[in-house]
Each structure stands twice: as structure tokens, then as C-alpha cells.
Amino acid sequence: MNHFISFEGIDGCGKSTQLQLTAQWLRQKGHQVLTTRQPGGTDLGKEIRHLLLDERFSPIPETELLLFLADRTEHVKRVIQPALQRGEWVLCDRYTDSTFAYQLAARPLAEQDLLPLLHFAQLGYEPSQTMWLDLDVEQAMLRTQQREEQQNRLDKEKQSFHAAVLKGFQQRAQSHPQRMQRIDANGDSQTVQQRIRDLLI
Ligand code: TMP
């Protein structure tokens, strides 16, 4: 069985910290673990990430989607597929559920257009498990405002955009109850981490 775990949630939910803590724990248990992210998990993907998050640009929704998928297909083929074939655990910061939440729930794109493109870009690779860090929008926006690194184009979207993204994740969790685990992202990082470990044991 593949161990391909994605970490998902709205901006500021704490998923990147939780991914790193989970990787440390799995390594201590003796597993080979690859941590990676989307967008930006390859050299080319890092450039795509800059384009996507740069405030100088405001791509139309279709362009934004295609850039995320260009990053994904490069990443799946060059990084995720080889690591899974080597038998490693892959912990990926965002994957397909982000596309449904951001590009479908929060932007005016249609599911029938998205599905064949996702199929093409992901080569059939789906996470075996997804940790969805659930936090309310006000709290999450506060966290991104307090972060040291500068807010990017998507962090700076309106509250109503982030609320639509959150709704997108809620819908995905409802339609994929086996794969998607809802993690209460309230509390300090160790408390949240314990909730994740309890699900992975
Ligand atoms: P990050 O800061 O969590 O790495 O994510 C960068 C931004 O990209 C974040 O605002 C979510 C967004 N995103 C999408 O809109 N669609 C996608 O498919 C992915 C992977 C990320």
C-alpha cells in the first residue's frame, strides 16, 4: 500500500508545521519519509510558485488553474511517483483537495472542465490519506497576518474568498470520508500533532 499523505486546509491553518512534526515522528519510528509541497516541489515548480503568488499578477481563474496543474504534473512525475515506487512515505503540503477548494469552490470554474485536467495532471495518483486541518477563517487570517514572512497574493484575498475555500474543504471531506480526516486545528502545535498521530497509529 502507498503511504501518500496530503496535508490540507485554508491559509494559516498550521498544516506545514504539522507536516514537519509528523515527518519527524515517522522518521523516529524508522520510516523513510519525503516531505514536499505544492506548488513548489520541483525546481520548475518553485518558479511557477513565484508566478502564482506574486502580487504583480492577477491571473484569470483558468490561467491560475493551469499553472497549479503544470506544477502538479511536474511534481507527480519527477518526485511523488519515484518516491512511492521506492517505498517511501510521501508527506505533501497540499494536493488535489486544494484545487477543488481554491479553484472550484472559490473561483467561477466548472467541475466538468476541471476533472479531465486533474486526471491528466495527476496520472491517477491520489493520496492514501489526507489530514485536513480545520480552523475557522478569522483565526486563520489572524495567523497569516502575524506570520513573519510577507503575505502573498492568495493570503491577501478577501475573507469571503477564504470562507468559500473552507466550505470547499468541508464538501470534499463529506464526499471522501474514508480518505479525508478532519483534524481540529485549534490549540497549540503539540496538541494538534497528537490528534494526527492518534489517527496514523
Ligand atoms: P501554501 O502557502 O500553503 O504553500 O500554498 C500556496 C497557495 O496556493 C495557497 O494559498 C493555496 C494555493 N493553492 C491553490 O489555490 N490551488 C492548488 O491546487 C494548490 C496546490 C495551492
Comparing CA positions, the residue from 31, 153, 12, 145 lying closest to residue 86 is 31
Helix (H) / strand (E) containing 5: strand 4-8
pLDDT value, residue 149: 87
What separation in Å is there between the alpha carbon of 67 and the centre of ligand 1?
Answer: 11
Helices and strands (DSSP H and E) totals, the chain: 9, 5
Per-residue pLDDT of the chain (201 residues; tens, 9 = 90+): 789 999 999 999 999 999 999 999 999 999 999 999 999 999 999 999 999 999 999 999 999 999 999 999 999 999 999 999 999 999 999 999 999 999 999 999 999 999 999 999 999 999 999 999 999 999 999 999 998 888 999 999 999 999 999 999 999 999 999 999 999 999 999 999 999 999 997
pLDDT value, residue 8: 98
Q: What's the rounded Cα separation, in Å, for the pair 65 and 104?
A: 9
Instruction: Return the sign of the alpha-carbon dihedral for residues 101, 106, 110, 114.
Output: negative
Instruction: Return the sign of the alpha-carbon dihedral for residues 158, 155, 67, 65.
Output: negative
What separation in Å is there between the alpha carbon of 173 and the centre of ligand 1?
Answer: 18
Strands in 73-194 per DSSP E? 89-93, 129-134, 180-184
pLDDT value, residue 58: 96
Q: What's the rounded Cα separation, in Å, for the pair 154 and 151?
A: 8
List the residue whose alpha carbon is closest to atom 2 of ligand 1. 11
Q: Given ligand 1 and candidates 58, 94, 155, 156, which is best to mutate, with the most ligand atoms within 8 Å of its CB?
A: 94
Output the pTM of the full model. 0.98
What separation in Å is there between the alpha carbon of 100 and the centre of ligand 1?
Answer: 11
pLDDT value, residue 167: 98
